């Protein structure tokens, strides 16, 4: 009797997988960032696309501390695809310990360059902060410890001839928590590396008067690649009346060498065939251009992704 029950249970599981899918399911864990950032809504949309477009796929979205954590998780085989900032991916490939990597992450494989992150430094008008120099002696949240945002903060301050020691107080907090402290007048400013129109800063600007702090092209030039000069257009946030110069750095979708070539191919194909759905999830995805998908890739391209680009005529 027990044998019959056991056999019935196994049969039920196989039926649940669907005809021809038994043992062929693909699990895709999408590594994102904090829920108030841009990575998370795009990751949710991407997981939905994969669940619908890739036969037998089961998907999951994991909220993380973003770039550095994502890349370390990929190296350990604990994710199939992740969002990460270009400078973090480069540091991971080089094994930069100061950036949060214990050694060279040699299992990382590139999927695509996507949209740029903008370094967005926002201060309360009440603080009087209008420039980087004005941040001296002020309280600033620079992002979660060793996150991609925090690495960006270090680079910006160093190029401006400053360090955290010049600040009155440093908080290492994710976007939403940083904004809450600003609303409560507990800190003066927050630095957030994200796509334009990030929810956390929109929320802040709708609650308190803000100044968007500029980062000059000269400072950006001192940092060098993969940073580039960029502009936060007027009206991006409530109360932002003028364009603001800043730095931008590209984002990437990254996988790892334990992901099969076929799955990497299908993930890349589904990504570019559903850009409208990603843009509907967050406007930052409008900056994804298939023709620029291979630009500045800091790690080896996944063979499955390479197959897609060749088929699409995007590489020789």
Segments of the chain scoring below 50 in pLDDT: 1-23
Long-range contacts of 124-130 (CB under 8 A, 24+ apart): 124/182, 124/185, 124/188, 124/189, 124/208, 124/209, 124/210, 124/211, 125/208, 125/209, 125/210, 125/211, 126/185, 126/208, 126/209, 127/188, 127/189, 127/211, 129/188, 129/189, 129/211, 129/213, 130/211, 130/213
Question: H-helix or E-strand containing 256?
Answer: strand 244-256
Rounded Cα–Cα distance for residues 91 and 95 (Å)? 6
Residue 52, helix vs strand vs coil:
helix
- pLDDT score, position 221: 95
The pTM (predicted TM-score) of the whole model is 0.81
Contacts of 122 (CB under 8 A, 6+ apart): 182, 189, 190, 192, 201, 204, 205, 210, 211, 212, 213, 237
The residue written with tokens 């750095």 in the block is 249
CA distances from 47 to 16, 184, 195, 218, 255 (A): 21, 35, 19, 39, 14
Rounded Cα–Cα distance for residues 22 and 86 (Å)? 38
Longest dimension (CA), the chain: 78
- pLDDT score, position 147: 85
CATH number of the domain located at residue range(s) 117-249 in this protein: 3.40.190.10
Which tokens is 129 given?
């902060």
Q: Tell me the backbone φ, ψ of residue 30, rounded to 5 degrees.
A: -95, 115
Rounded Cα–Cα distance for residues 145 and 261 (Å)? 34
C-alpha closest to that of 138 among 187, 211, 72, 93: 187
* Percent with pLDDT over 70 in the chain: 92
pLDDT digits (tens, 9 = 90+) for 84-130: 999 999 999 999 999 999 999 999 999 999 999 999 999 999 999 99
Four-point Cα dihedral 94, 95, 96, 102, nearest 10: 170
Domain 26-115+250-311 bears CATH identifier 3.40.50.300: no
- pLDDT score, position 17: 37
Could you check whether 26-115+250-311 and 117-249 share the same CATH topology?
yes
Strands (E), 86-162: 108-124, 139-141
Name the DSSP letter for residue 300. P
Q: Tell me the domain boundaries of the chain.
A: 26-115+250-311, 117-249
């Amino acid at each position: 009797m027990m044998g019959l029950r056991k056999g019935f249970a196994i049969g039920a599981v196989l039926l649940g997988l669907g005809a021809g899918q038994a043992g062929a399911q693909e699990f895709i864990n999408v590594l994102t960032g904090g829920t108030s950032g841009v990575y998370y809504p795009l990751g949710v949309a991407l997981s939905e696309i994969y669940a619908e477009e890739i036969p037998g796929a089961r998907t999951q979205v994991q909220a993380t501390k973003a770039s550095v954590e994502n890349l370390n998780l990929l190296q350990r085989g604990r994710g199939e695809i992740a969002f990460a900032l270009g400078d973090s991916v480069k540091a991971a490939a080089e094994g930069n310990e100061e950036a949060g990597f214990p050694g060279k992450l040699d299992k990382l494989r590139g999927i695509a360059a996507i949209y740029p992150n903008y370094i967005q430094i926002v201060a309360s008008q009440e603080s009087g902060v209008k420039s980087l120099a004005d941040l001296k002696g002020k309280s600033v949240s620079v992002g979660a410890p060793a996150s991609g945002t925090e690495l960006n903060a270090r680079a910006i301050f160093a190029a401006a001839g400053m360090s955290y020691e010049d600040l009155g107080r440093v908080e290492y907090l994710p976007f939403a928590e940083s904004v809450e402290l600003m609303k409560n007048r507990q800190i003066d400013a927050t630095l957030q590396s994200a796509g334009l129109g990030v929810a956390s800063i929109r929320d802040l600007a709708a609650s308190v008067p803000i100044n968007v702090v500029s980062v000059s092209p000269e400072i950006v030039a001192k940092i060098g690649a993969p940073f580039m000069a960029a502009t936060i257009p007027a009206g991006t946030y409530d109360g932002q009346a003028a364009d603001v110069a800043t730095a931008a750095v590209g984002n990437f979708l990254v996988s790892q060498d334990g992901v099969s070539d076929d799955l990497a191919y299908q993930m890349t194909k589904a990504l570019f065939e559903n850009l409208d759905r990603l843009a509907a999830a967050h406007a930052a995805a409008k900056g994804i251009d298939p023709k620029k998908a291979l630009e500045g890739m800091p790690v080896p391209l996944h063979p499955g992704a390479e197959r897609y680009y060749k088929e699409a005529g995007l590489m020789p």
